[in-house]
């Protein structure tokens, strides 16, 4: 049995066509079902539905053989105990700093609100900026509006959330896409099952790139 960890929401939506191309069609729809383990059209493959930030943990400990996780989550979690064989190119966005429109450039001693604590710490340390990082779990855009922080580090896609809250994107930290991650022991022990899946994903991604 192969267990694949996926989060509900945008990653699931984007991953579904990729999984389907590999002949993996979930029997239940996670939007309608409360089940956390979804059987699929393939008897030897099941999906576990978890929070996006928990995917590396499940895969690292072997609770799932493979998973799909955003690069943002992998950077923050640390991916040294996982294989990251494929960039799936889905759920694309940018990890950026952002501040109120017209506020002075980000420098000196600053307070930064983010859920990406380690990534932000290392980013500002590399720039020699003294940043006090305030950990939040969501709605980061609110922090500068209520003087909790001078700026934020968060994901930006359309920029609509920033705009709606009077903020502007400042510096790009990195581009983000979702990656396939594989448990190291599973890669060895279940190689015969995992490798064909990786090959199929790769074919689909190449076809997408060519069309």
Q: Which is nearer to ligand ATP, 98 or 190 (CB)?
A: 98
Q: Which stretch binds ligand ATP (CB under 6 A): 20-28, 33-41, 48-56, 78-86?
A: 48-56
Q: Where are the alpha helices (DSSP H) in 61-168?
A: 71-77, 117-127, 142-145, 160-164
User: According to the binding rule CB under 6 A, does residue 72 interact with ligand ATP?
Assistant: yes
Q: Which is nearer to ligand ATP, 176 or 181 (CB)?
A: 176
User: According to the binding rule CB under 6 A, does residue 54 interact with ligand PRP?
Assistant: no
User: According to the binding rule CB under 6 A, does residue 56 interact with ligand ATP?
Assistant: no
Report phi then psi at 104, rounded to 5.
-60, 160
Q: Cβ contacts of residue 76 below 8 Å, gap of 6+?
A: 53, 115, 116, 117, 118, 119
Task: From the list ligand ATP, ligand PRP, none, pick the one residue 160 interacts with, judged by a Cβ distance below 5 to 8 Å according to partner type.
Answer: ligand PRP
User: According to the binding rule CB under 6 A, does residue 19 interact with ligand ATP?
Assistant: no
Q: Which is nearer to ligand ATP, 18 or 176 (CB)?
A: 176
Residue 11 to residue 141: CA distance in whole angstroms: 22
Q: Which stretch binds ligand ATP (CB under 6 A): 4-12, 39-47, 75-83, 187-195?
A: 4-12
Q: Which is nearer to ligand PRP, 106 or 143 (CB)?
A: 143
Task: From the list ligand PRP, ligand ATP, none, pick the one residue 52 interacts with, judged by a Cβ distance below 5 to 8 Å according to partner type.
Answer: ligand ATP
- Are 173 and 123 contacting, i.e. CB atoms less than 8 angstroms apart? yes
Q: State which H helix or E strand residue 185 sits in.
A: helix 184-189
From residue 172, how far is each of 27, 95, 176, 204 by CA, in Å? 40, 6, 11, 29
**Shortest approach of ligand PRP to residue 173 CB, angstroms?**
14
Q: Which stretch binds ligand ATP (CB under 6 A): 6-14, 124-132, 166-174, 189-197?
A: 6-14
Other C-beta atoms closer than 10 Å to the C-beta of 8 total 13
Quick check: helix, strand or coil at residue 149? coil
């Amino acid at each position: 049995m192969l267990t694949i960890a996926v989060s509900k929401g945008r990653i699931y939506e984007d991953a579904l066509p990729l999984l389907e191309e590999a002949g993996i069609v979930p029997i239940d729809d996670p939007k309608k079902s409360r089940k956390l383990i979804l059987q699929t059209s393939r008897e030897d493959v099941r999906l576990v539905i978890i929070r996006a930030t928990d995917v590396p943990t499940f895969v690292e400990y072997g609770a799932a053989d493979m998973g799909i996780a955003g690069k943002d989550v992998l950077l923050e979690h640390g991916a040294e105990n996982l294989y990251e064989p494929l960039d799936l190119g889905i759920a694309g966005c940018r990890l950026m700093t952002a501040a109120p429109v017209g506020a002075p450039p980000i420098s000196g001693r600053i307070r930064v609100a983010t859920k990406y604590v380690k990534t932000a710490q290392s980013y500002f340390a590399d720039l020699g900026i003294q940043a006090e990082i305030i950990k939040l779990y969501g709605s980061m855009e609110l922090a500068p509006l209520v003087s909790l922080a001078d700026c934020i580090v968060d994901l930006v896609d359309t920029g609509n959330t920033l705009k709606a809250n009077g903020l502007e994107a400042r510096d790009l930290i990195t581009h983000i896409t979702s990656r396939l991650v594989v448990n190291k022991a599973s890669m060895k022990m279940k190689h015969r099952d995992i490798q064909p899946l990786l090959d199929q994903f790769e074919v689909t991604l190449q076809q997408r790139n060519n069309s």
